[in-house]
Structure 1
Amino acid sequence: MTTQDILPLVPATLPVVVLDFLLRSLTHTNPTRRRSALVLFVLLLILSSRSLFSLHARLNPPIVPQPSLYDLEDSLARTYVPSPPTAQQQANHARLSSLISSRKSAYSHARFTHSALRGDGSPVVGVTAVVLHWKRRKGLELVLRHVARYPFIREIIVWNNRPGVDLTKEDFTILPPPDSTLPPASLRIVNSPSNVHDAGKHLACSMATYSHCYFNDDDWLNVYMDTTYTKYLECCAGQGVTGGSEGGRISSNTLPIIHLEHRRWRFSNPDIDLHTGFTWLGTGSFAPRSLSTRFLTQQSVSPIPLSRSQSLTADMFFSLWANTYPEQMPNELVGVDVEGGEVGWSRGEGVDQWAVVYSNIRTALRTLSLTLSLSTSSSPSNSLTPHPFPLAPPPAESLTRAPCANDACLFVTSLTPFPGAEELRGSYEETPAGEWEKRGWFGGGKKDEEAREFERTMRRSGVERTSGRDERPSFDPLARGWSVREHEARFNSLGGGGGRAFPDEQWWVKNGSWHLAVDGRGVQTCWESFRPPEADDHFGLTLVTPRVVKDLTLTGSLDLANVVGWEDVTSGSESWEVFSVRGDGTGGWVRRASSVFKGREDKADEGVRGPQEPRSLLSAPRIVPLDATTLSVTISLEPILTPTTYALEDEGNIEIDEEGREVAIRKIKVVSRGRKRERVRVCGWDLDGWRV
């Protein structure tokens, strides 16, 4: 037998040879040889076992679960240590502390006692402040100090989104409002086991003791608390509305440039009763508690459930799902940058935040549109009702536009540069939703898988979608390829055919933002109307606290020199006149009878100086030119006096005051008698030495 014949047999015979050798050694008569063989045998077993286990581990590696983005975020938050504040941040802290100390509410504290708030017909409401906290501890302390100074804040809930770092009530000192006998606002702390982002706002608000919530993040200071609250009571608290706070809506603050952006984020489709808009909450916003509790319900009944990341970005869905236009006042917000480290959005690095915003707004609108379509459908399989996605038409937009810099008044005007969302109907009829993307005008032609998912949901619900295939299609966010950026572009293109245009960014920030009329800087900054005023257009002030006004000084455009008394029937359309509302709410914004203009003062005009409250002038306006386009005009108003007598049955008139007392006013406005040739500008106000 040759070597080539033997080699193939070696692998098969080698184990037999080794085993035979071990067996003979283990049974050998020599004890030393037997022991050596036993040791070798044990070592062989150990090495074989380890080899088998190693091979098994390589072939079947253990499955190690990867931590989610949220787990990593929470882990980083637990180990986060803020950097020492810079010199600038220390200066910011001192400046903000001084600013907080200088602010004080004008509201009477007696109106916010427990018994007063529980009384029937109370004109004010108690509020729970919801403060969202992440890592900005010093910012949180400043915000708590600030909101606690206002008597209408009767409860504070801090939602702590920083896991592993629990807060307690003993960590903070909540003082009573200044010069007040009220107790301090009660403080509650919720330590979230994970960072739930904006969802914490609505979880906290749903637990509030009071029926109204105020939202504030720990990186903004709303120095317009009184005026924001005043507007909320006036337009949005739901007072006097059937169902109480169910009729309320959001009243918020934002920067002028963000307000311009949010005006393009308004949407309307009357075919399905869709009429909604967007606003952020964290910079100082009031809203009924019922909206937050309803929002939690909306998430549970949404036809397509939100993902976890979408639920955490609740601000991007909340206002849109309210299906009404939120009220928003532009002003110069005060940021809180007082400590080192992370002060931005609590999301990971490398995330395109604005892409998230645009995507979530589109999802919110598609969900709302689909749900409203289901609610208005006659399909028997549809189990949804208009609630919790409301169908009621939105109330008229408030003409209260911006807070005064001193937080003691608000600027009011009928003049707005913004077209409504309904004015895009012609654009969508001409080019249906999504067509801009399909034609390559917008969006780049990417596939819209989300729209396909919504279409499948509609088919399963037995609802036929017709929008987009009608002869006159309307706004339809469910259309494939539609995007929020397309909607913005449609707003920007308005006015090309002679219609109402949308203001550009530069003009709005520099001239158009309403807060420029009341920012306290005089002629350095002036508000300018987008178009010349028409008849009955007006501008004015709402005062937080009523006051007697004898001399009104306006600084602005040259046409303001033409202010006349109500009884002057000779002045033309270039003139202005003054109206006011008394502190007790009587008077009004309604103009007097037109017959007065024509000089026919008959019986129909008796009492014209009563509820309608047009004002007479004691003398001709005093005019001081300031430059070629600006002047100062001082108007002396004839006082409104209380009655000197009142009538008693069977006793005649009883004298109560020999001369009558001058009536304090709550609102004052300047009204255009006719169409003006130029835009009006307003730079500043002076009410008997009280400057705005």
Structure 2
Amino acid sequence: MPPTNSAQTDHILQNSARGFLIPGLGEQQQENGNWFGGRLGNSKKNGDGIVTSNNINGKGGVPIGGKFKAKAAAFSSSSSSSSSSSSSSSSADTTRSRSERERMLLEWDQRSNYRTDLADAGPGRVSSFPVSLFVNTNNHAKPGSSGTSSSSSSSSSSGSLSSSSLSQQLSSSGAGSGNAGAGASKYVPVTAVILSWKRKEGVKAVVAHLRKYPFIQEILIWNNSPDVVLSTHDFADRSTSSSSSQWYPNSNRTDSSTGTTPPPPPSNSWPSITVFNSVANLHDFSKYTTCTLAKYDHCYIQDDDWINLSMDSMYAVMVDNPASLITSTLPAMHAQQRSWTFQNPQLGLHTGFSWLGTGSFMPKRAVFKFMMQLGGSNLWKERVQLADLFFALWRNQYPIVLSHALAPLDQSSSWSGRIDQWSVVYEHMTDAMFRLTTVLSGTGVVHGSPHRVGAKADFVADEESPSFRDRHTRSSCSNDKCLFQTNVDMFPSPESIKWHPDSQQLQQQHQHRDIIQAHEARYKSLNYPKPDFVAMHTYHYAVDQDLSTCWQSFHALEKGSFFGLWFILPLLDLGERARSIEVWSTYENTLAVLVKHMAVKASVDGTNWMTCTGKTERATGSIRIKDLRCTDVGRKIGIQLDTRGIQFLRFEMKEPTTAPIEICGIRVGDMLL
């Protein structure tokens, strides 16, 4: 529901990330009545333009939600007219203008951050990864583990790619990568850790969804509520249409774009399920203790009040970055988290914060290291229970964050609804940074140290590769078949601001939010996008299958700047239009620049690039590149490379632009993104 007073509205408009309860704080942190994360976030499609479902059918159809382009123009017009109105304007007109502006911003915030179309998207979502990649997984289990019979799958998911040639291609391409061992595939199995809190139906829905993904080979459920008892019998096979409807109420409806009924959750035998019923609420700490029990070397962690519709995308990023923390969050929260990055080369400090409860991949060894850090500290129980506020920062690494809309489930029984959540966040983050800075600086390591002598070795680390400036993956595509990439970052880099409060100041104030907020303010005094810009032009709008929403680069592009796509699997069959690409924009200057100064490049591995040629022509609101061909060792080929398919496409500027560009959608062959 909308804000109830002007003071609250002013606060929201100044910083939309603080206008909603925080996903991932404690167990599940969305209060059902909260205006942004609760009732509005869980609302159904209505007649006022808040529509998140798409009906682009791959044939150039007009998407649902076309009102939003007009709303954006109205928003800008409202802002402009408000700033230029004469002093003779009536108070009533000003109030109406302000109210309309606030309403439109709330709608854009809703659209950019939440997917309320789970009933449409959830049941039809299946993994792109072939089941055969994960059939023999015992060699990835921890030493001494005998594995389980559930790790051998007998059939593939409906709709998954399962050809033996594709499996062989993927397996061989990952030889020697990651932590799977020499000669093994980099496509390793994962243990899912689900934190449950008083929402039995929510955790059932999460389990039913995760069972669609063959890389999830084990599911560990930690139930933090002594008032609720869970059993493995609660998660029996739900592959029948009647039981799938229980978790996805509208799964029996016909998809309007394809004329088919979405398949029910598949009958998969691969994930073994173990349930732990806690006698007390251990809050976030239980995520990490449960991960240490995992059979496999990587954990996927999430709470029970979200459905992650970008599982394949996140897994693909994890496969290429097996040592990193991969997280998924709302665009508004991502904008906030970017001001929570901290660097100081003299201290060897390079870290950032991210929430974990909406879906995160991490190596199990990072969790063991965190447990060692906790063991060497003197954190009291209440601090340890909120371990999420320490884990990412104490890794002393920047997390890889995908920013896109999320799909909320029931978010009642909120813990944070009963506390001053932002006070808790800032207090714990300040404490985490105080301890990290103290240990890295070597000050206070004997007398008054918050950590044991010798603890510095637990926190010192070289920055992960690729470095922050070389990470270009921003968001998943809405169909979870690709990821959106660009080297044009709308936010200032961590190197822009140095974290250097002296240790005495930190020790005196580490119970307060002042220092972190001052750090935020320094970031946001730079060329930092406003909340309304993030809501209207966030990254995933370029690939959300809706031409009425658009990503805007915020900055003008330099020579060599690019945007592009990373496909989850190689492009082997693009249909009748396999050699054509189309890019949409409502900006005339963007289309002109793309026609004149854009080079199309393709890659199999993301490292070695081929320049593509084709005939570029203008269309209404788009450019089309026909007869696309790429150069590979002097010979002309199509976008398909023998048995290897293109996995990366890049649209690169040959000359700088004078203004930001806008991208509303991309079509590659018959795949509309």
TM category, shorter: 0.5 to 0.7
Superposition deviation, residue 362 in structure 1: 0.3
Q: What is the CA–CA distance in structure 2 between the aligned matches of 1:401 and 1:525, rounded to whole Å?
A: 16
1:185 aligns with one of 248, 271, 283: 271
Q: Once superposed, what is the RMSD of the aligned Cα atoms?
A: 3.5
1:230 aligns with one of 313, 316, 319: 316
Q: Secondary structure at the match of 1:370?
A: helix
Aligned to 1:517: 542
C-alpha distance 130-493 of structure 1, shift in aligned 2 (>3 A):
same
Superposition deviation, residue 639 in structure 1: 5.3
Superposition deviation, residue 97 in structure 1: 5.3
Q: What is the CA–CA distance in structure 1 between the aligned matches of 2:571 and 2:401, rounded to whole Å?
A: 26
Q: Secondary structure at the match of 1:291?
A: helix
Q: Secondary structure at the match of 2:610?
A: coil
Superposition deviation, residue 419 in structure 1: 1.2
- Map of 1:283-682 to 2, 5 A cutoff? 283-302=358-377, 305-337=378-410, 343-346=412-415, 349=418, 351-374=419-442, 383-384=453-454, 386-395=456-465, 396-397=467-468, 398-425=471-498, 451-452=507-508, 482-494=514-526, 501-511=527-537, 513-522=538-547, 524-548=548-572, 549-556=578-585, 557-558=587-588, 559-561=590-592, 575-582=597-604, 585=605, 588-589=606-607, 611-617=608-614, 619=615, 621-626=616-621, 631-638=622-629, 661=642, 664-682=645-663
Superposition deviation, residue 503 in structure 1: 1.5
C-alpha distance 673-105 of structure 1, shift in aligned 2 (>3 A):
same
Q: What is the CA–CA distance in structure 2 between the aligned matches of 1:174 and 1:387, rounded to whole Å?
A: 46
Letter of the 1:538 partner, please give it. F
TM-score, with length taken from structure 2: 0.66
Q: Please tell me whether residue 161 in structure 1 is matched to residue 161 in structure 2.
A: no
Q: Deviations over 1:523-578 (max 9, x none)?
A: x11111121110111110001121154101111244444557xxxxxxxxx51101
Aligned to 1:277: 352
Contact 2:124 2:264 in 1 (8 A): no
Aligned to 2:56: none
**Residue ranges of structure 2 left out of the alignment (5+ in a row):** 1-25, 28-38, 46-114, 141-180, 240-262, 573-577
Contact 1:433 1:482 in 2 (8 A): no
Contact 1:560 1:576 in 2 (8 A): no
Q: Secondary structure at the match of 1:483?
A: helix
1:104 aligns with one of 126, 129, 139: 126
Aligned to 1:32: none
Q: What is the CA–CA distance in structure 2 between the aligned matches of 1:180 and 1:168, rounded to whole Å?
A: 21
Q: Secondary structure at the match of 1:579?
A: strand
Q: What is the CA–CA distance in structure 1 between the aligned matches of 2:497 and 2:598, rounded to whole Å?
A: 34
2:280 aligns with one of 194, 197, 202: 194
Q: Secondary structure at the match of 2:402?
A: strand
2:330 aligns with one of 244, 255, 260: 255
Contact 1:275 1:393 in 2 (8 A): yes
Give the aligned length. Answer: 487
Q: What is the CA–CA distance in structure 2 between the aligned matches of 1:580 and 1:399, rounded to whole Å?
A: 16
Q: What is the CA–CA distance in structure 1 between the aligned matches of 2:486 and 2:642, rounded to whole Å?
A: 30
Superposition deviation, residue 377 in structure 1: 8.2
- Map of 1:18-37 to 2, 5 A cutoff? none
Q: What is the CA–CA distance in structure 2 between the aligned matches of 1:643 and 1:116, rounded to whole Å?
A: 44
Q: What is the CA–CA distance in structure 2 between the aligned matches of 1:228 and 1:411, rounded to whole Å?
A: 12
Superposition deviation, residue 385 in structure 1: 5.1
C-alpha distance 205-335 of structure 1, shift in aligned 2 (>3 A):
same
Letter of the 1:210 partner, please give it. Y
Contact 2:128 2:312 in 1 (8 A): yes
Aligned to 1:599: none
Q: Please tell me whether residue 209 in structure 1 is matched to residue 209 in structure 2.
A: no
Larger Rg: 1
Q: What is the CA–CA distance in structure 1 between the aligned matches of 2:513 and 2:429, rounded to whole Å?
A: 14
Q: What is the CA–CA distance in structure 2 between the aligned matches of 1:412 and 1:165, rounded to whole Å?
A: 43
Contact 1:412 1:541 in 2 (8 A): yes
Higher relative contact order (CA 8 A, sep 6+): 2
Contact 2:389 2:425 in 1 (8 A): yes
Contact 1:578 1:614 in 2 (8 A): yes
Q: What is the CA–CA distance in structure 2 between the aligned matches of 1:483 and 1:560, rounded to whole Å?
A: 45
Superposition deviation, residue 182 in structure 1: 6.2
C-alpha distance 616-331 of structure 1, shift in aligned 2 (>3 A):
same
C-alpha distance 116-677 of structure 1, shift in aligned 2 (>3 A):
farther
Superposition deviation, residue 481 in structure 1: 8.5
Superposition deviation, residue 272 in structure 1: 1.1
C-alpha distance 115-335 of structure 1, shift in aligned 2 (>3 A):
closer
Q: What is the CA–CA distance in structure 2 between the aligned matches of 1:416 and 1:383, rounded to whole Å?
A: 40
- Identical columns (%): 30
Q: Secondary structure at the match of 1:281?
A: coil
Q: What is the CA–CA distance in structure 2 between the aligned matches of 1:562 and 1:422, rounded to whole Å?
A: 30
Contact 1:106 1:226 in 2 (8 A): yes
